[in-house]
Structure 1
Amino acid sequence: MSTLIEQPVEARLVAAAPRMPSIPATLRYDRHDPFAVQMTFPAPATLEGVEVRWTFSRELLAAGLHAPEGHGDVRVRPYGYDRTVLEFHAPEGTAVVHVRSGEIRRFLEATSALVPTGLEHQQLDLDHDLAELMRDAR
């Protein structure tokens, strides 16, 4: 069984210009980090010309489909019909993108099929993680 889900999505960058350019992005979920999702923007789509990856909670992404969520670096909220806004805050500035809510729902359904919501803790190997921590502490 696969431990990884990757789904390309079309993100629309909200900018000062009237037309929102479409940029490729990828949503990623790995059962080895069961509480987190990642959204990656390829180098050509970023101002710095390097791949940018944001990691945030799966719960935040799911809750943001229905109501504004998040108070830190990543914020998610519904917007109009079948759109979700993701805001990424960094010291260099803020990026705001729109993604079709249906694409996010499809991604979340796939992640829930891999690791059901509420059972993420069963994927954690606490003995292994503790051994790694102890090894690194020496």
Structure 2
Amino acid sequence: MITVIEQAVQARLIATAPKVETVPVTLCYDRADPFAVRMAFPALATLEGVEVSWTFARELLSSGIRQPSGTGDVRVRPYDGDRTTIEFHAAEGVAIVLMVTGELQRFLDRAAVVVPLGLEHHYLDMDHSLAELMRGSC
């Protein structure tokens, strides 16, 4: 049974320091962390010159392709009928990427096969999470 979904997509950088217009981005969903998605940017697209990953709620991505969503470090909103804007806010500045909504929806559909929306809580390993939280406290 598949427990991890990865999908390569193209993102168009709208506002960022490096002079790169389009970069390959990797979307990742792991059943071990059922509420989250991870978006990894290659080194060539970052100020530090190293791969940077952002982890945020799967529901934020899902709702953001239909309506403006998010008020924190990650904000997602429809741009036009075919594209979605994702904003990443950090101390160093803001990066805005434009992605094809169909690719994001395809990724979300694949993730929903691994863990259906609304059933994420059934896939949490509370014993493991509690052990990780308590590790080193005794």
Do the structures match in fold with TM over 0.5?
Answer: yes
| Structure 2: tracts of 5 or more residues without a match | none
Distance in 1 (alpha carbons) for counterparts of 2:23 and 2:131: 41
Which residue of structure 2 aligns with residue 34 of structure 1? 34
Structure 1: state its 5+ residue gaps.
none
Structure 2: how far apart are the matches of 1:119 and 1:76?
23
**What is the percentage of aligned positions where both structures have the same residue?**
61
Q: Which residue of 2 aligns with 1:11?
A: 11
1:1-138 → structure 2 map (5 Å cutoff): 1-15=1-15, 21-138=21-138
Query: How far apart in 1 are the matches of 2:10 and 2:134?
Result: 42
Q: Distance in 2 between matches of 1:30 and 1:76?
A: 21
What's the CA shift for 1:75? 0.1
Shift of 1:134: 3.3
Identify if the C-alpha distance between structure 1 residues 97 and 135 changes in structure 2 by more than 3 Å, giving closer, same or farther. Answer: closer
Residue pair 1:24, 1:45 contacting (<8 A) in 2 also: no
Matched residue type, 1:40: A
Question: Deviating runs (4+, > 4 A) in structure 1?
Answer: none
Distance between the aligned counterparts of 1:122 and 1:104, measured in 2?
24
Q: Does 65-74 or 41-50 show the bigger shift?
A: 41-50
Q: Calculate the TM-score normalised by the size of structure 1.
A: 0.93
Rounded Cα–Cα distance in structure 2 between residues aligned with 1:104 and 1:57: 14
* Cα deviation code 1:86-117 (max 9, x no counterpart): 00000000000000000000000000000000
Classify the secondary structure of the residue corresponding to 1:34: coil
Deviates more, 1:120-129 or 1:92-101: 120-129
TM-superposed CA distance for 1:46, in Å, is: 1.4
How far off is 1:127 after superposition?
A: 2.1
* RMSD of equivalent CA atoms: 1.7
Number of aligned residue pairs: 136
After TM superposition, the structure 1 stretch with the greater mean CA deviation from structure 2, 45-54 or 55-64, is 45-54
